[in-house]
Amino acid sequence: MTQYATLTIDGKELQLPVIEGSEGEKAIDIRSLRQETGFITFDPGFGSTGSCQSAITFMDGEKGILRYRGIPIEQLAEQSTFVETAYLLIAGKLPTREELTRTSVLLNDFSLLHEDMKYFYQNYPSKAHPMGILSAMVNAMRSFYPELIDLDEDLNNTFLRLISKVRTMAAMAYKISRGHKTVYPRPDYSYCANFLHMMFDNPVIPYEMDNDMVRALNVFWILHADHEQNCSTAAVRVVASGKVNVYAAISAGISALWGPLHGGANQAVIQMLEQIQKEGLTIPQVLAKAKDKNDPFRLMGFGHRVYKTYDPRAKIMKKMCDLVLGKQRCRDELLKIAMELEDAALSDRYFQEKNLYPNVDFYSGIVLRAMGIPTNMFTVMFAIGRLPGWLAQWKEDSLDPLRRISRPRQIYTGETLNDYVPMRDRF
């Protein structure tokens, strides 16, 4: 039996259907609101607005739950690989051994870039941010790989091509920025191992593969693979609603992820630690500045807009953080500051009462730095991990029978009717 919510406006009652999700979350269907009443809703930031129905990711911020296709993130981080998780998100199920092997082979086969794409990289200004370059290069891929014509084409190859080549482009951007020769993947390495190989191997000092680093990278990318309707995912869906090609939609997602309030948060953590070190602040001084509402200083990497308890991804990433730093014995002074800050904040009553726990960005920034990833590449690393989620969301949106082009309304607050004044009469 359909449940309804009753809305009374100007003495008129309107019955609005209530939609219930598979986990019990409820929404009021207001699609007929404007047509029936002339009213619209007002919700800056869309914090109380459901933009779609999705079967990909479930999260509960109050209980600290995150699941991909129903599988808890804890199980995936412990038992899965990034490639298997990517398959799960896009295909909607875990792969068989044969399907996973075929996927891994195709990822290697698709890893080469068209040689003409290198000229794009080489002509970017040396100080250009890698996220700007990556967004532009992904958009340019449509010209180099135009096979995607419509949804009747085998989308899986297009998706795998993107997942493979974005990894190559990220490593290539790093190599070119250092004036080094591009390194391509090895067929005997996994997806994550190959990324580390492409980033850090060189003819003078061959990169020694560390299984713990590979494991940490797998977990980092699994934890970032999707996160419901966040800023960048919403951007992908909004752009996709105009029926643009998948490359353009993903390019938009990369641009949205770039901001410091979204994907750039892990980079902001390192910049905060650098500020603490540069100014010679003690940990008690840092906490005092964070508590002072009149101080512009902000404690980055603590708290989360959605999670009102501990970020479930943070618990997992902390284990990887301890693993990586344990191997390095924390030789980096910046990382020592991070660990001291974590201990102090977790034991401080002010942060406990406000649920300001370290989030996944805090630990992931530390792990990426410990791996040797340059700070300006942190958001690119996030983008590689989020790519399967974006692709799954683009695919779901494209196949949605209720799909409509996104067209938010507004409340106009400007001038009322105002006649044009000729130039000769203006003073």
How far lies 426's CA from each of 102, 416, 417, 419, 421, in Å?
71, 19, 18, 12, 7
CA atoms within 13 A on the CB side of 207: 21
Tokens of 266: 């892990």
Question: Do residues 86 and 333 touch, judged by C-beta distance below 8 A?
Answer: no
227 assigned to active site = no
DSSP 121-184: HHTS-TT--HHHHHHHHHHHHHHH-TT--STTS-HHHHHHHHHHHHHHHHHHHHHHHTTPPP-P
Spatial contact of 392 and 226, defined as CB atoms under 8 Å apart: yes
Please give the Cα distance from 16 to 33 (Å, whole number).
8
Residue from 226, 311, 361, 397 carrying the catalytic annotation: 361
Catalytic residue among 227, 304, 311, 397: 304
Q: For 53, how many CA atoms within 13 A lie in the half-sphere containing its CB?
A: 15
Query: Token pair for residue 377?
Result: 């590449």
361 catalytic? Reply is yes
Q: Evaluate the CA torsion angle 125, 128, 130, 136 in order and state its sign.
A: negative
Q: Give the residue among 264, 299, 238, 283 at the shortest CA–CA distance from 382.
A: 264
Residue listed under structure tokens 């191992």: 193
Angle at which helix 360-371 crosses helix 265-279, to 10 degrees, equals 70
Active site amino acids:
304, 361
